[in-house]
Structure 1
Amino acid sequence: MPFIEHGRGRAYYRHWAATEPRAAVIFLHGFGEHTALYHRYGFALNAAGIDLWAVDQFGHGLTPGTRGDFGSVDESSALAESLTELAEAAHPGLPLVAQGHSFGSVVTLFRLLGQPDRYRVGVVSGAPLTPIPELNSDSAFELDPGWLSSDPFYLDALENDPLAFVDADGAPLARELDKAWDRFGTELPRLAVPTLALHGSADPIAPVAGVRSYADQVEALQLKEFPDARHDLINESVHREVAGTVVNFIDAAL
């Protein structure tokens, strides 16, 4: 796999390339995941003429670091910046889409707020925009795989993939999310980039009510809720519908 050089080490990334791309998605995954879990999504985007660039964040996949420790929001944002530069070099002038899932969605939203002219579209899924009761700085953060998805293919991948996990020290993640929650109340209403928030109505980790509340207040934030779907929405049983919704949103924005 190719990699991005960073002060914390090499961050490995994947690029799913469309034959004749008309847009490029810069993607950041969530806790316990890595880029290889997104092959289906990459192929779905490629079929619609959209490139996908995704990086194994620190502490995940092949990228070094303490398991589950993304580092800071700024460090994750730096990885997304490097991916963006790679996408720009590959196809200068191609419209860019910033996308993130779970913790990756938090980083993505701050990037959209900080660089409103860099990306044409934003997409977030399973966004924890309000505090997660199960997550605190004093204990391990452990997920029940059944909270994540009802798709047997994905659950099998989580169980048998040595690079995927559902538990780790919760302190680093809690630290960064606490900072983010303190900022969202004042900063998120300034969001100007058209952004699609995808969320499962049965998400037990990041309840949809928090996203629904922000979507009611922020004109640029559009919520698409999927009935009975859980947290890892892109890898849920409705993954085809989710991918189609993203493609349609990008089409409309472009």
Structure 2
Amino acid sequence: MTTTQKYAATGAWNEPEGATPRGTVALLPGRGETAASYARLGRRLAADGYRVRYVPVTLDDIADARAAVEELLADESLPAPRVLLGSDSGAALAGQFVAELPVDGAVLAAIALPGSAHGEVGADWADEVDARTACPVHRAVLATDEEFARGAIASPLPWETIAIGAQDRPTLALHGTDDRVTPLAPALEVYARAARTDVRLVQGGRHDVLNDVAHRSVAATIVLFLESLRLSPEAPPIVTGLG
């Protein structure tokens, strides 16, 4: 229990003691979220050998957000491959930074969209939770996290356009089919503009797709992507069918 609380507070998850680290994941949160929102995912990726580092970013200063990620990547003790993992507004930033920073790829989860493309979420807490996740464990995390910014999910993005810059780097996009915050159709249009983006739909998934009821399958999909990057910058599939 103490370890879980420590991880939630610091946002740093390491591979098991004695294991060889297999890569680094820089985690960029979405609107309102804290490190506590990602304790479960951080532990799961770390159990598979990946060092996960939560990077708090602010949307009112993109240059500052970029500098925070760049400072993390300057840590030579963090092993390659290095991948940006962002959710919501963090996915929008990761989609931009992946072409600007020394990383090997990106994972974009439920990318937030500006302006009219953004979905509608009610102002009350019950509707926000319903839009975010159906997972009872994650709902409890959100309800008890005193630093979580309720209502932030409905705030507009401070930019008018969005683009994924990773034309030459592998990108995995994860999106829930029942996402009310970022509806699927406009999100797919954004993902389609990046040549090397592999889009995976989470059936029935809501906006907090990394922390929804299918979180185990989502985490496994991320690990497969990370493992493929370890093999080659082309990110070849590891598990294939007979065809």
Asked whether the 8 Å contact 2:105–2:170 carries over to 1, the reply is yes
2:176 and 2:144 mapped to 1: Cα distance?
25
Which residue is 2:235 aligned to?
A: none
Asked whether the 8 Å contact 1:13–1:55 carries over to 2, the reply is no
TM-score for both structures, normalised by structure 2: 0.79
Which residue is 1:207 aligned to?
A: 183
Which residue is 1:85 aligned to?
A: 74
4+ residue segments displaced more than 4 Å? 140-143
Asked whether the 8 Å contact 1:29–1:101 carries over to 2, the reply is yes
Encode CA deviations 1:151-210: one digit per residue, 9 max, x unaligned. 01111121122111321496xx535232xx1x52xxx37622100001100000011212
1:96 and 1:141 mapped to 2: Cα distance?
38
The answer for unaligned runs of 5 or more in structure 1 is 1-11, 59-69
Question: Are 1:218 and 2:194 matched, yes or no?
Answer: yes
Encode CA deviations 1:64-121: one digit per residue, 9 max, x unaligned. xxxxxx32222222221122223xx224x52211111111011111111223xx1112
Question: Are 1:95 and 2:78 matched, yes or no?
Answer: no
Q: CA deviation at 1:14?
A: 2.2
3-state SS of 1:247 partner: helix
Which residue is 2:131 aligned to?
A: 147
Question: Are 1:132 and 2:148 matched, yes or no?
Answer: no
Q: CA deviation at 1:217?
A: 4.1
Asked whether the 8 Å contact 2:88–2:111 carries over to 1, the reply is yes
1:14–1:160 Cα change, 3 Å: closer
Question: Are 1:156 and 2:143 matched, yes or no?
Answer: no
Q: CA deviation at 1:57?
A: 3.2
3-state SS of 2:175 partner: strand
- Sequence identity of aligned pairs in percent? 24
Higher strand share: 1
Question: Are 1:71 and 2:60 matched, yes or no?
Answer: yes
Code of the residue aligned with 1:41 in structure 2: it is L
Q: CA RMSD in A?
A: 2.4
**Which residue of 16, 27, 41 corresponds with 2:13?**
16
2:148 and 2:40 mapped to 1: Cα distance?
16
Which residue is 2:207 aligned to?
A: 231
Question: Are 1:176 and 2:165 matched, yes or no?
Answer: no
TM-score for both structures, normalised by structure 1: 0.76
The answer for unaligned runs of 5 or more in structure 2 is 1-8, 231-243
Which residue is 1:66 aligned to?
A: none
2:208 and 2:30 mapped to 1: Cα distance?
9
Number of corresponding residues: 215
Q: CA deviation at 1:51?
A: 0.7
